[in-house]
A and B are shown apart, each in its own frame.
Chain A
């Protein structure tokens, strides 16, 4: 093991390697409820070539490699289940290119959401990316690798669908470019008209390679953003509300949420509707379209638009702080959620299940759903807040999460960023031919089985 430490030092420099217990403690966990597991080393490379050498070393020594962004997935995706080397990407945080006219950026694999947001605000105020409601330190590469969502997901799909080129260090050590950058200097396409190889890396949770560069589509950043909140007490109405809103084809983001606390939110389902415009006229036009689309529900008294002015400054924040605040309601700052991707029409069923689980396990809940791609699907987050100092409460959260995943699979949904146990549940249920193909692809790319082992494994 001493040889590996020396070799890592030789690759990245002494300062950027550690096997000190206090640092390994930090890299052994994430903020979710899963048990920690210590790595043997942590290393912070600065170039793709250094990563290439680290992976080659790991392959030679048969040591696991776990790529890590900001470790905020909450589902233990970067907890080194079998030890090995955690590759902390945060030194690779440069924005390499912004093509203003083609509206894309190329960033290094450890670039955070906050860095790109700030860069665009300062240098390209007419452009934005699909910012997730996650801490600003979370990384773009990790987000796309787990099919993350963001503020523009309602309009343009999962953030992973916004990828327009990748550079990846394969588990065998080669540096591979995917899409248009494999043919030339421009990062405008992840695949078309080539075979789309990005699918070998997106959604694989770091088990097929380490993303060192991401090409990411950017979108117009309008001058004004506005928000309205439609409220109903009938969950069965929510899919129809969303159907009518998405028909407008002019909304930035649509989320649905319900929670028992604070009391003002009790017993209601809130549809938050964001829209943007370059002029007040555009904003007002869109606002009227939104209201008109839902007028029928106001007439029947089944729904209405709540006064949003006092909440507006918070609602328009990007990213939102509400999740962090919800986490601390029971004190102790714990927050965990299961986020099945499912049909919008299933909203009432999931809402009922969440309330049932919260009652069964005596937990504080919040339900949130984000509309994806104009209503083709939604991500329904079954969320619980807990006190980290309360082991029994954490166990109850774990049990509730397991049950939620089981339910989601029964409903034909896809659990989002599943933890290793949920991945097994998925693989047990998935079509056997699909499962076999997943395993075959993985073995082909990672013949030594070193990449984030324990994830996407049948056994």
Chain B
């Protein structure tokens, strides 16, 4: 669905880089229970306060939310109406110059993800694999699961979803770069893009839609792809018979409908997902972004609670969906006695491509 001008004609994203968020203030006004803020893991609010604060935001007024939001994306999932409270917070922050992250860190991320013509593009036809700007995803996309597709990997800032800048409330960067990224994929002639990073899939299916940008290809969630391939490779599959916990990444909050795929995958892999406090809607951030923008105290506290919760289950593996979470939390999880592993590697283990226990 594209963004339309007054005459109803479709405007391509490239023609309108400052697309406005499609947020409906009336939805918030009529909302019976402001779960977006009430359920927040990082702000403590009573129902009355939560209602008042979200209404302030819709009116464009200052709100404590603009100072306290830790950018976990949770409210995007909590809002039952898909009204994008998180994107509203980001828009307001940028408009008011109320940034949560230190300025040099924000600029470092903007610079680090700048398009410099250094993208790596494999042999791409109709289908491509997107590894965003995460080299480890490219390395993981190998073996039988990715047979015939490994060479179609696309990596680099030119093809990276710029959603990370929402953590820094730089929506202008997102709106400037995302249309270029979409255009770059269009130039490649990609019809189907398998997104190995949740953030890419969330960007193309949630964020782009919230801003009325047209996505010129079919985004495929990588866990859906894994599921399909494991079903095709069923004969080679050996149930793992292991107990696991799962670290849900922030960007999965943009695509909560896909969270269910995780459980289906564990089922097919023979991995028993153990119950714990901080899972599903109650998931905690890996601490990486929290540390950057909020300091070590909050980050340490969240990581400690999260890891203690994992360890309490007695699980053998902690399964990660996002390589950035794995990099941040993996070593600490390992110290607590769990084996950190990415979902793709867990699938490879079930296919005998990675020896069991070796991570």
Give the B-binding residues of A (Cβ under 8 A): 231-233, 263-268, 287-288, 291, 295, 297-298, 301-307, 309-310
- The reply to whether B102 and A301 form a contact with Cβ atoms under 8 Å apart is yes
Q: What's the Cα separation between A388 and B102 when bound, in Å?
A: 40
- The reply to whether B288 and A268 form a contact with Cβ atoms under 8 Å apart is no
Q: What's the Cα separation between A305 and B99 when bound, in Å?
A: 16
Residues of A within 8 A of B111 (CB): 263-267
A to B CB contacts below 8 Å, 30 in the list: A231-B102, A231-B104, A231-B105, A231-B108, A233-B107, A263-B114, A263-B116, A264-B111, A264-B112, A265-B111, A266-B111, A267-B107, A267-B111, A268-B104, A287-B296, A288-B296, A298-B102, A301-B101, A301-B103, A302-B104, A303-B102, A304-B101, A304-B102, A304-B293, A305-B105, A305-B292, A305-B296, A306-B105, A307-B292, A309-B327
Q: What's the Cα separation between A295 and B297 when bound, in Å?
A: 11
Assess whether B209 is interfacial by the CB under 8 Å rule. Answer: no
7 closest A-B pairs by beta carbon, nearest first, are A304-B102, A264-B112, A304-B105, A233-B104, A231-B104, A263-B111, A268-B104
- Checking A263, A291, A303 against B104 with a beta-carbon cut-off of 8 angstroms, the contacting residue is A303
- The reply to whether A233 and B291 form a contact with Cβ atoms under 8 Å apart is no
Assess whether B184 is interfacial by the CB under 8 Å rule. Answer: no
Q: Whole-angstrom distance from the CB of A341 to the nearest CB of chain B?
A: 27
- Checking B101, B108, B291, B293 against A268 with a beta-carbon cut-off of 8 angstroms, the contacting residue is B108
Q: A233-B103, A307-B291 are in contact. Are A263 and B296 (CB under 8 A)?
A: no
Residues of A within 8 A of B292 (CB): 304-307
- The reply to whether B295 and A291 form a contact with Cβ atoms under 8 Å apart is yes
Residues of A within 8 A of B277 (CB): none
Residues of A within 8 A of B293 (CB): 304
Q: What's the Cα separation between A287 and B295 when bound, in Å?
A: 12
Residues of A within 8 A of B296 (CB): 287-288, 291, 305
Apart from A304-B101, A309-B328, what are 7 other A-B pairs with CB-CB below 8 Å? A231-B102, A233-B103, A264-B111, A287-B296, A288-B296, A302-B103, A307-B288
- The reply to whether B328 and A264 form a contact with Cβ atoms under 8 Å apart is no
Q: Whole-angstrom distance from the CB of A266 to the nearest CB of chain B?
A: 5
- Checking B104, B114, B116, B288 against A304 with a beta-carbon cut-off of 8 angstroms, the contacting residue is B104
Residues of A within 8 A of B102 (CB): 231, 297-298, 301-304
Contact with A along B101-135 (1 / 0, CB 8 A): 11111011001101010000000000000000000
Q: A231-B104, A268-B107, A304-B104 are in contact. Are A263 and B291 (CB under 8 A)?
A: no
B interface, over-half SS: helix
- The reply to whether B104 and A310 form a contact with Cβ atoms under 8 Å apart is no
Give the A-binding residues of B (Cβ under 8 A): 99, 101-105, 107-108, 111-112, 114, 116, 288, 291-293, 295-296, 327-328
A interface, over-half SS: mixed
**Beta-carbon nearest neighbor of A287 in chain B:** B296
Q: A301-B102, A304-B102 are in contact. Are A310 and B327 (CB under 8 A)?
A: yes
Q: What's the Cα separation between A302 and B295 when bound, in Å?
A: 14
Q: What's the Cα separation between A297 and B101 when bound, in Å?
A: 11
Q: What's the Cα separation between A295 and B116 when bound, in Å?
A: 34
Residues of B within 8 A of A295 (CB): 295
Q: Whole-angstrom distance from the CB of A370 to the nearest CB of chain B?
A: 21
Q: What's the Cα separation between A268 and B295 when bound, in Å?
A: 19
Residues of A within 8 A of B328 (CB): 307, 309
Residues of B within 8 A of A232 (CB): 104
User: In the complex, which of the residues B105, B293, B328 has the most CB atoms of chain A within 10 Å of its own CB atom?
Assistant: B105
Residues of B within 8 A of A267 (CB): 104, 107, 111
Q: Whole-angstrom distance from the CB of B249 to the nearest CB of chain A?
A: 15
Q: Whole-angstrom distance from the CB of B54 to the nearest CB of chain A?
A: 25
- The reply to whether B291 and A305 form a contact with Cβ atoms under 8 Å apart is yes
Q: What's the Cα separation between A265 and B108 when bound, in Å?
A: 7
- The reply to whether A263 and B105 form a contact with Cβ atoms under 8 Å apart is no
Q: What's the Cα separation between A24 and B101 when bound, in Å?
A: 58
Q: Whole-angstrom distance from the CB of B138 to the nearest CB of chain A?
A: 15
Residues of B within 8 A of A301 (CB): 99, 101-103
Q: What's the Cα separation between A310 and B112 when bound, in Å?
A: 13
Residues of A within 8 A of B291 (CB): 305, 307
**Beta-carbon nearest neighbor of A266 in chain B:** B111
Q: What's the Cα separation between A304 and B103 when bound, in Å?
A: 8
Q: Whole-angstrom distance from the CB of B115 to the nearest CB of chain A?
A: 10
**Beta-carbon nearest neighbor of B100 in chain A:** A301
Residues of B within 8 A of A310 (CB): 327
Q: Whole-angstrom distance from the CB of B154 to the nearest CB of chain A?
A: 20
Q: What's the Cα separation between A17 and B247 when bound, in Å?
A: 67
Q: Whole-angstrom distance from the CB of A311 to the nearest CB of chain B?
A: 11
Residues of A within 8 A of B105 (CB): 231, 304-306
Q: Whole-angstrom distance from the CB of B336 to the nearest CB of chain A?
A: 13
**Beta-carbon nearest neighbor of A263 in chain B:** B111
**Beta-carbon nearest neighbor of B103 in chain A:** A301
Q: What's the Cα separation between A264 and B106 when bound, in Å?
A: 11
Residues of B within 8 A of A264 (CB): 108, 111-112
Q: Whole-angstrom distance from the CB of A177 to the nearest CB of chain B?
A: 50
Q: Whole-angstrom distance from the CB of A218 to the nearest CB of chain B?
A: 31
